[in-house]
Each structure stands twice: as C-alpha cells, then as structure tokens.
Amino acid sequence: MLDVACGTGKVAVPLAKHGLSVLGVEMDERMADVARGHGIPVEIAPFETWDDAGRRFDLITCGSAWHWIDPALGVSKAAKVLRPGGVIARFWSYHLLEEPVLTAFDAVYRQYAPDAQVHGRNAVKSPPVDPFTESDAFSSVETRNYRWEDTFSADEWVGLVATYSDHQRLGPERLTVLQRALHAAIENLGGIVRSHGETHVLLARRASPSGS
C-alpha cells in the first residue's frame, strides 16, 4: 500500500504493525527521516509528480493531508497508481478538548508559539466538494465518520503535538520550549488531557477501465 504525505509515519507505522507492506511518499526530508526511523521506506517527492516507476497499489491512504494535494493532479495520479478495484482512503482526525484545557493552552501558545495552532478546538475536515465524485476513474465514493474518546498523559500530548507540521516548523529550540510549557500546564490541570474526537473518512474505489 501507499501512504501519501506520510509525514512522520502516524498512519504508516500502525498499518505496518498490522502486517501491511507500506511505502511512504513525503515532501519533507526531516519528517521522512522520522518515519524511516520507524522502519517505513519513504520516497521524497510531491505526490502529484512522484515517480511511481510503474508500481501499482491496492490501497492508498492519506491522513490529514489531502487538502495540500492539487485536486486535479491528485485524482489523476491516484487513478494511475491504483489497480482496478483498489481503494483510496483519505481521512482527517481531530481532537475536541475540554474548555479549561483549551484556556490553559491558549495562554501557553500566546507566549511561546503564537504562529502555531492550538489543536483540540476546531475540526479539520475535507473540502466541501470532493473531486473524486466527479471523476469517471472512481466509483463507490462514500463518507464514514468514527467517534472516539482518548486520554493522554502530559508526555503523550506533547509528543503528539510535536508531530504536527506547524509545530515542526517552529524548529527544535522553540518546539522544546513550547513542549515544556504545555507539559507544565497539563500537570497543573491534573496530568491528563481528555479528547472527544472524530475521524472523517472519504473512500473511493478505482473503477475498471472501460471495456474490461
């Protein structure tokens, strides 16, 4: 399977642990190095211009990143590298945190990282118009939503936010300072972050070529 815009391997690593053979495609060399450190092979390129070298896949995944892909070129590329009957799964997961936690986080980010997003308030979902529904190359386009709840220790939460692209752009020094401040804020709130989240999934199946 192919994981598009695999980043640090948040999608690829769990799937590999479940026995899937995963190849990642990622533009950012630093994030790709993290994924490689978890055993995921990653090729550096934008998905739209990535050299597939004739390889074909039964499954493409893209977690919280398809909105960065050019709509027309992305659909065309996916159609090229998916075998007939193969599926592309694009999904966006988001956290909804309790208000006291968000209030504390807002103060931390204002002081240490005003140019980064406080994750846990707003849903990040797919564009309202899905280009896959307009492509003859795909059929069985459907949407699924999965609600879930989770808890994070201070260590787990600061580790999670460090994987987000806007946090990565802070650089190691600023990110470390932010993480320490977030860690202290979580400990002051009892040491636990509770998340009520949802994963929004868009599935599309590669149609068979005409006449086959």
In a domain, 161, yes or no: yes
User: What is the domain range of residue 27?
Assistant: 2-206
Q: Is residue 59 part of a domain?
A: yes
pTM across the whole model: 0.78
pLDDT in tens, the chain (212 residues): 999 999 989 999 999 999 999 999 999 998 899 999 999 999 999 999 999 999 999 999 999 899 889 999 999 999 999 999 999 999 988 899 999 999 999 999 999 999 999 989 865 554 556 889 999 999 988 999 999 999 999 999 999 999 787 898 899 999 999 999 999 999 999 999 999 988 999 999 999 876 44
* Domain containing residue 27: CATH number: 3.40.50.150
CA distances 75 to 42, 47, 86, Å, are: 21, 10, 14
Q: Is residue 98 part of a domain?
A: yes
The secondary structure element, H or E, covering residue 202 is strand 192-206
Is 212 a domain residue?
no
State which H helix or E strand residue 156 sits in. Answer: helix 154-161
Is position 109 within any domain?
Answer: yes
Q: Residue 131 falls within a domain, yes or no?
A: yes
Whether residue 198 lies inside any domain: the answer is: yes
Number of domains in the chain: 1
